[in-house]
């Protein structure tokens, strides 16, 4: 196995974590903690497969994003409007998502745990570079969604730090009262932040179903939504930082697939991404800086 | 306005001698609020059933018919009732484990991993220790399970208190690690090699640990209920863990509301800074409560392990931890509320089998109803709490 092959695989593996982590940034910067991202990803995998199976990958991606967004809106209604505990709502959404995906899978595909194979995107090659044998795994067979995910990093960085919208969004997470006083609609911003987060998680899910395995499989997200949250914390709530963290997890996962033949029992190798997440969190949380008012409901006019 | 001061009727902290609390007489308004709070979960259940009805209509089933079938199947037969009790048993433990952690604002999502580790420890003590009488072996196994659960809660509790790692992410990661570890111990360490495979070389051995000694098995409740004149059929396995769970709920209720330890839990949950100022070590209290939650979580799998399967295998039931969170939320983190929530989930689980077989409705519809129920119940609690607060404020201004 060549180095470029390993890197290419790590890059592919990091896409779902990266996309969801970027989504989590929008949500958390607006002040909403979203443990339900895992569930939104699950819904994304399913609707990505539905769209991909019946109408092609493009529709799959759009459906997956819309479904993730719809689920995120439930979270927004529960936490922003009704001000219920954000963790509780997220946990409930995760349970709901798993049940709903299974139910719909039986209804639509007449199978409980998998969908049929779905249509994938046409893969891209980088012309010129694809002649170099050593780089081949890296520069051929590139999923367009991988490119989208990579482009989403500078895009998110720009939106958050260089636009009026980004400033307003961040102000709602740091000091909603001050934002409100200055005429920012805190509720609207938090709705938008949560919805964008859900759309990203849905996109991540549809990537898993359409591009990664080519079908929906029950439980295929395997806690990536939670790993994404950890990646975001590791990346200190910034797009660039989250990207490096996501690469790290992608690398760990692709390594864990490749050392199967060694003497270490494979159950321990399967633990690597999760133990890495734990280690990373234990090491960084002390210096990470969360948005000041994250997790706190905001009551207009004072509680 | 005797009710406006929060905590006015709470027991005194450490040091106070045992005393009976005379409940304050309720005025008309407080009584109305009490009824409203009692009605809340029922309204939420009704709402969830309505959503369920819409789904059933969408797939062309008559919801009234389905619900009627669910009730008649669940309550019309002795084996259904015993099954509901059997299914509720692990959920009582899982709900109590979640609830006690929620009480101090710890989200122990790791009940899932903790109960797998607890059951594994119990299983190992159950088949390695031999020749003990049941009255020693069985308690030993139960203690092993609690140790296993508490051990698996140790790392997230430490990370939370010392490093500020949010327990939601750390416990979820450990859930995956626990599943892998269990797989490893079953497949690579304790695999039962003595299994006799079916005749003529047919079939393959189960991926399981050796059988647990008879002295560590939990007897069923059949003879107990026979005394009461109820005869459960032999194919249900409701056992003494049901009563242990109920007793545990009573103990926790007492601890939370009547002991200094419980007082500290409630004080830290309400305001950690104020609790610190009052001389309570809130981090230590969080750490201890987290471990207790883990120890209770360790008991979740025992009803299945010691009362039904008799061995630990790769298909040991999963997902009980997450159901436990739901049950705790339903019961508003009250130990007795947890029992009711667990019975409700037991009923839904049994009822979903009934409607699957007799009405052709997929069991997942019931899962969806459960999810909706959790969400609507927390929303409903929040709305009612806020409504009462506003009403009381109005009254206070008016008075």
Q: How far apart (Å, rounded) are the C-alpha atoms in residues B121 and B142?
A: 9
| pLDDT tens sequence across B21-47 | 555 566 777 777 888 888 888 888 888
> Is the pLDDT assigned to residue B373 strictly greater than 70?
yes
Nearest by CB to residue A87, choosing from B107, B155, B386, is B107
Q: What is the mean pLDDT of residues B230-258?
A: 92
pLDDT in tens, B3-20: 444 444 444 444 444 455
Q: Which of B239, B232, B225 is nearest to B89 (CA)?
A: B239
Alpha-carbon span A30 to A24, nearest angstrom: 10
Alpha-carbon distance of A42 to A103, in angstroms, equals 13
A91 close to B (CB below 8 A): yes
pLDDT of the residue at B24: 57
Q: Is A290 on the interface with B (CB under 8 A)?
A: no
Q: Identify the H or E element spanning B296.
A: helix B282-297
Work out the average pLDDT over B214-238.
87
A277 touches chain B (CB under 8 A): yes
Nearest CA in chain A to B181: A267
Torsion of CA B200, B201, B202, B205, to 10 degrees: 140
Q: What is the number of CB-based contacts under 8 A between chain A and chain B?
A: 127
pLDDT digits (tens, 9 = 90+) for A35-47: 999 999 999 999 9
Nearest CA in chain B to A82: B379
Those residues of chain B whose CB sits closer than 8 Å to some CB in chain A are 55, 59, 107, 109, 155, 159, 163-166, 168-170, 172-177, 180-181, 183-184, 187-188, 322, 325-326, 329, 362, 364-365, 367-368, 370-372, 374-375, 378-379, 381-383, 386
Q: Which residues of A touch B362 (CB under 8 A)?
A: 103, 106-107
ipTM for the assembly: 0.84
A253 pLDDT band (50/70/90 cuts)?
A: confident
What gap in Å lies between CA A24 and CA A228, rounded to an integer?
8
Residues A18, A242: contact at Cβ < 8 Å? yes
CA-based nearest residue to B85, from B336, B343, B309: B343
pLDDT of residue B369: 84
What does residue B147 show for φ and ψ, rounded to 5 degrees? -60, -45
Contacts of A98 in chain B (CB under 8 A): 367
A270 lies within 8 A of chain B by CB: yes
**Average pLDDT over every residue of B123-131:** 93
Shortest distance, CA B13 to any CA of chain A (angstroms)? 28
Q: What is the pLDDT of residue A168?
A: 95
pLDDT for B91-118, tens place per residue?
Answer: 999 999 999 999 999 989 899 999 999 9
Q: How far is CA A81 from the centre of its chain?
A: 24
- In chain A, the percentage of residues whose pLDDT exceeds 70 is 96
- pLDDT at position B16, please? 46
For the segment B345-369, the average pLDDT, to the nearest whole number, is: 86
The nearest alpha carbon in chain B to A102 belongs to B364
A106 and B174 in contact by Cβ < 8 A? no
Question: What are the CA-CA distances from residue A104 to residues A73, A115, B73 (Å)?
Answer: 20, 11, 25
Query: From B332, which residue of chain A is nearest by alpha-carbon distance?
Result: A88
A303 touches chain B (CB under 8 A): no
Token readout for B153 is: 């809660």
Using the beta-carbon criterion (under 8 Å), do A285 and B370 form an inter-chain contact? no
Torsion of CA A212, A213, A215, A218, to 10 degrees: -100
Chain A hits for B172, CB-CB cut-off 8 Å, are 223, 226
Mean pLDDT to the nearest integer, B332-360: 90
d(CA A253, CA A257): 6
pLDDT attached to residue B341: 92
Instruction: Give the distance from CA B31 to its chain's centroid.
Output: 30
Distance (Å, whole) CA A205 – CA A149: 12
Helix (H) or strand (E) holding B333: none
Q: Are A184 and A168 in contact (CB under 8 A)?
A: yes
User: How many residues are there in chain A?
Assistant: 303
Q: In sequence order, which residues have a C-beta less than 8 Å from that of residue B399 and are 6 or more positions away?
A: B1
**Higher pLDDT pick, A87 / B7:** A87
Instruction: Note whether A281 contacts B169, CB cutoff 8 Å.
Output: yes
Give the list of residues 6+ apart from residue B22 with CB closer than 8 angstroms, or none: none
Cβ contact, residue pair B371, A83, below 8 Å:
no
Q: Exposed, middle or buried by CB within 10 Å (0-12, 13-18, 19+), for B300?
A: buried
Query: B364, B81, B134, B171: which is closest to A107 by C-alpha?
Result: B364
Q: Under an 8 A CB cutoff, do B173 and A278 touch?
A: yes
Residue of B nearest to A77 (CA): B379
Nearest CA to A196 out of A26, A61, A43 is that of A26
Nearest to A265 among B188, B325, B365 (CB): B188
**Cβ-based neighbour number of residue B259 at 10 Å:** 14
Q: What is the pLDDT of residue B6?
A: 46
pLDDT value at A1 more than 80: no
Mean pLDDT lowest for which of A49-63, A123-137, B50-64, B101-115? A123-137
């Amino acid at each position: 196995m060549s180095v470029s092959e390993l890197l290419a695989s790590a890059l592919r593996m990091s896409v779902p974590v990266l996309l969801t982590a970027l989504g989590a940034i929008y949500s958390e910067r607006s002040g909403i903690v979203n443990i339900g991202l895992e569930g939104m990803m699950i819904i994304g995998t399913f609707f990505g497969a539905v769209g991909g199976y019946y109408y092609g990958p493009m529709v799959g991606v759009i459906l997956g994003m819309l479904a993730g967004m719809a689920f995120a809106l439930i979270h927004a209604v529960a936490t922003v409007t009704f001000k219920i505990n954000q963790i509780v709502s997220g946990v409930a959404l995760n349970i709901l998502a798993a049940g709903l995906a299974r139910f719909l899978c039986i209804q639509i595909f007449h199978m409980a745990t998998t969908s049929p194979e779905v249509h994938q995107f046409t893969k891209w090659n980088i012309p010129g570079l694809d002649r170099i044998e050593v780089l081949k795994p890296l520069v051929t067979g590139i999923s367009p969604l991988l490119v989208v995910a990579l482009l989403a990093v500078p895009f998110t960085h720009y939106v958050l730090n260089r636009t009026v919208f980004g400033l307003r969004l961040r102000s709602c997470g740091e000091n909603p009262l001050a934002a409100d006083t200055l005429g920012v609609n805190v509720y609207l911003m938090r709705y938008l932040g949560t919805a964008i987060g859900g759309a990203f998680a849905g996109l991540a899910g549809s990537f898993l179903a359409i591009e990664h395995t080519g079908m929906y499989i029950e439980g295929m997200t395997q806690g990536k939504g939670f790993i994404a949250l950890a990646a975001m914390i590791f990346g200190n709530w910034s797009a660039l930082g989250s990207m490096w963290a996501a690469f790290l997890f992608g690398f760990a996962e692709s390594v864990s697939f490749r050392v199967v033949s060694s003497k270490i029992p494979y159950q321990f190798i399967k633990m690597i991404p999760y133990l890495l997440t734990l280690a990373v969190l234990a090491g960084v949380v002390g210096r990470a800086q969360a948005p000041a008012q994250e997790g706190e409901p905001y009551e207009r006019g004072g509680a | 306005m005797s009710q406006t001061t929060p905590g006015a009727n709470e027991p005194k902290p450490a040091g106070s001698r045992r005393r009976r609390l005379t409940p304050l007489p309720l005025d008309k308004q407080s009584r109305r609020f009490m009824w409203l709070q009692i009605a809340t979960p029922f309204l939420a259940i009704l709402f969830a059933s309505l959503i369920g009805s819409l789904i059933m209509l969408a797939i062309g089933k008559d919801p009234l018919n389905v619900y009627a079938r669910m009730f008649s199947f669940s309550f019309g037969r002795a084996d259904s009732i015993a099954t509901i009790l059997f299914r509720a048993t692990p959920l009582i433990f899982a709900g109590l484990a979640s609830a006690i952690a929620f009480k101090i604002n710890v989200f122990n999502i790791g009940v899932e991993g903790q109960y797998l580790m607890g059951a594994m420890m119990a299983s190992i003590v159950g088949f390695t220790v031999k020749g003990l009488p049941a009255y020693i072996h069985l308690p030993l196994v139960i203690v092993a399970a609690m140790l296993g659960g508490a051990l698996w809660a140790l790392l997230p509790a430490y990370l939370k208190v010392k490093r500020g790692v949010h327990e939601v992410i750390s416990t979820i990661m450990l859930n995956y690690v626990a599943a892998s570890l269990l797989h490893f111990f079953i497949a690579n360490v304790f695999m039962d090699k003595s299994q006799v495979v079916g005749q003529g070389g047919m079939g393959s051995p189960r991926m399981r640990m050796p059988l647990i000694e008879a002295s560590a098995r939990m007897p069923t409740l059949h003879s107990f209920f026979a005394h009461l004149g109820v005869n459960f059929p032999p194919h249900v396995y409701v056992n003494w863990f049901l009563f242990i769970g109920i007793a545990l709920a009573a103990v926790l209720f007492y601890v939370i509301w009547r002991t200094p330890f419980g007082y500290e839990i409630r004080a830290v949950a309400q305001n950690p800074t104020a609790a610190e100022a009052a001389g309570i070590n809130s981090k230590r209290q969080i750490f201890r409560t987290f471990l207790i939650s883990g120890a209770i979580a360790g008991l979740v799998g025992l009803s299945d392990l010691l009362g039904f399967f008799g061995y630990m295998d790769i298909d040991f039931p999963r997902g009980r931890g997450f159901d436990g969170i739901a049950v705790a939320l339903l019961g508003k983190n009250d130990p007795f509320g947890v029992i009711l929530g667990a019975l409700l989930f037991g009923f839904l689980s049994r009822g979903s089998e009934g409607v699957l077989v007799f009405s052709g409705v997929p069991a997942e519809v019931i899962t969806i109803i459960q999810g909706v129920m959790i969400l609507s119940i927390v929303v409903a609690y929040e709305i009612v709490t806020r409504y009462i607060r506003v009403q009381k404020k109005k009254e206070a201004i008016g008075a």
